[in-house]
Structure formats: structure tokens, C-alpha cells
């Protein structure tokens, strides 16, 4: 049963990482324009050089 000592912290850490990731996306306004963002990736305006 000693494997629990590793497994439980690992699973909690993984879940926590996902939660932190979600909070990050929420904080950085990534849900403001879901439709636009899904289409912006198709645009090739800045393919050759980064946007100034």
C-alpha cells in the first residue's frame, strides 16, 4: 500500500496543474472571443514574420 504515498500526491498535483492552467487561460482573456480565436489560426497574415 506504500505506493499510495506517491500516487495520491501525484494525482493531486496533476489535477492541480490542470486547474492552474484553466485559471491562467481565464485570467488572460482567452474566453473573450472563442469564435474569433478559432478562426484566427487560419489566417496567414503573420506567417512569415511575427506581428510587430
Partner 1 sequence: MTAQMRPSMAVCPGCVAAPEGPVEAVPQEARLALSLPQIHCQACISGVERVLNAQPGVQSARVNLTLKRAMIEADPDLKATDLIPVLEANGFEAHELDLAALSDTNSDRQGRELLMRLAVAFFASMNVMLLSISVWSGASDATRDMFHWISAAIAFPAVIFAGQPFFKSAWTALRVGRLNMDVPIVLALVLALVTSLWETMLSGKHAYFDAALTLTFFLLAGRYLDFRTRAVARSAAEELAALEVPRAIRLEAGQEVEVAVSDLRIGDLILVRPGGRMPIDGEVAKGQSELDRSLLTGETLPIFAEAGHQVSAGEVNLTGPLVIRAEAVGEDTSLHRMTDLVAIAESGRSRYTSLADSAAKLYAPGVHILSALAFLGWYLYTFDIRMALNIAAAVLIITCPCALGLAVPAVTTAASGRLFKRGMLIKHATALERLAEVDTVVFDKTGTLTTGTPQLENLEDFTRRDLEIAFALAEGSAHPLSKALCAAAREAGLQPAEVTDLREHPGFGTEGRYKGRTVRLGRASWLGAKQGSQTAAWLETGTGEAQAFYFADNLRPGAAEAVAALHDAGKEVLLISGDAMGAVEELAARLEIRKWVAEALPEDKSQRIARLAEEGRKVLMVGDGLNDTAALASAHVSISPASALDAARVASDIVLLGQDLSPIAEACTVAQKAIKRIRENFRIATLYNVIAVPLAIAGLATPLIAALAMSTSSITVSLNALRLR
Give the interface with partner 1 as residue ranges (CB under 8 A).
1, 4, 8, 11-12, 15-16, 18-19, 22-23, 26, 28-36, 39-48, 50-51
Least separation in angstroms between residue 6's CB and partner 1 is: 14
Least separation in angstroms between residue 5's CB and partner 1 is: 10
Least separation in angstroms between residue 40's CB and partner 1 is: 6
The Cα angle at residue 43 between residues 25 and 41, in degrees rounded to 5: 30
Q: Which three cell numbers stand for residue 16?
A: 492541480
Q: How far apart are CA 52 and CA 41, in angstroms?
A: 17
Q: Length of the chain in residues, anyone?
A: 52
Amino acid at each position: 500500500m506504500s505506493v499510495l504515498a506517491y500516487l495520491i500526491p501525484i494525482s493531486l498535483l496533476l489535477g492541480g496543474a490542470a486547474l492552474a492552467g484553466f485559471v491562467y487561460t481565464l485570467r488572460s482573456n482567452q474566453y473573450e472571443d472563442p469564435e474569433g480565436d478559432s478562426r484566427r489560426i487560419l489566417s496567414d497574415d503573420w506567417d512569415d514574420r511575427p506581428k510587430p
